[in-house]
Structure formats: structure tokens, C-alpha cells
Structure 1
Amino acid sequence: MKIEVTRSGGVAGVHRTGSVEFAMRGARAPSDASWAALYRQARSECGLLGAGGGATDDAARAPSRVRDAFQWTLRFGRERIEVPDTDLSGALRELAERVLAEGQ
């Protein structure tokens, strides 16, 4: 699974991007298990990603924008969602911030 995160906006309007790639099953590195667990938790907790592999109607709508607030774009394989900073919470926020901090 490949996850790419872009955080844009803010007062300075700076873009930060990071990505990680990990195995969901089969032979995998020790860190893959923690990434896979966090991904699964974010997916089940937030309901932003549909079980059929596409974004749900709520995620497909254009996000509301707040002046000088961050805007997050997350790509999970072929799926793409945009989330305003005010709506990013729980495991999805943890996953997004971890990808920016530890990803390439």
C-alpha cells in the first residue's frame, strides 16, 4: 500500500509532502505491521473511504476552505481525498502527520 500526504495552506502557504509504502499482508518488514494497523484504524474510524475502493459521497464533495487553514490531500493507492484541517481527526490525523514526519 502506498500512502501520499500533502499539507498545503496555512499562513505561509507552504506545501509539505510525504509518502510511505508498506505491505498489508504476506512477507513484510516489522514497521509494515504498525503502518498497516494505523491505516486500517483510520479507514474504519473515519468512514472517509468506502469499502468498495472509492471515496464516499461525503469525501467526494469539495471541502470547505478556511482562510489560512491547512488543507490535507491524502492518496491511498488510487483513492484520493481532500480534508480541511478542521475535519482531520483521530487515526486519520495521526496517519497523515506520521506520513509527513517519517515518510520520504
Structure 2
Amino acid sequence: MRIRYDREVYALYIELLLLAPGTAENRELTEDIIADYSPDGKLAGLEILDASQVLGEQLKEIIVEDASVGVIHQREHPNLVKSVFRSASVHSER
């Protein structure tokens, strides 16, 4: 799984499955949330447009949690989505 945040357009993308370019089927769930599905119907990703407005202050705090062990990483920072998930993978390998 990969989470990307584009600060230039304020879009947050949660990639659940890696798909070949042009193979995703997009479905608008709300005006600001688009779901991508694989050709076989599996949820492949979620895009949140204008994420800074939709998520507000919640975007500044990221908590990575493993159901079997609890919180792996928690951090507050205004621009942290990319860095937290990179460091969280290091914590989860321990």
C-alpha cells in the first residue's frame, strides 16, 4: 500500500493495488472522493481531491496502526504523509 499527497493540487491518493496505466475504472463516490477499481472489480485506490479542505486538521496527524500490535507510528507535522509512511515501514520491520 502506498499513500501519496500532492501539495500543489491538495490531492491525497491511497493506492491499495498497483494497476497498469489506463486499466482502472473510476467511480465518483462524492464530489471530492473517487474510487479506482481493478478490471476484476477489486478496490485499487481512493483519491481525495482538495484533501486539505476535506480532511482539514486530520491531514496533519498520521497514525499507522497494525491490528495485531497497535500503533506503529504516530506523528504530527503539516506536510508529512510521504515521510511518515517511509519511516513506518522501518518501524514495522523491527
Q: TM-score, normalised by structure 2?
A: 0.21
Higher relative contact order (CA 8 A, sep 6+): 1
Larger Rg: 2
Which structure features the higher share of helix residues? 1
TM-score by length of 1: 0.19
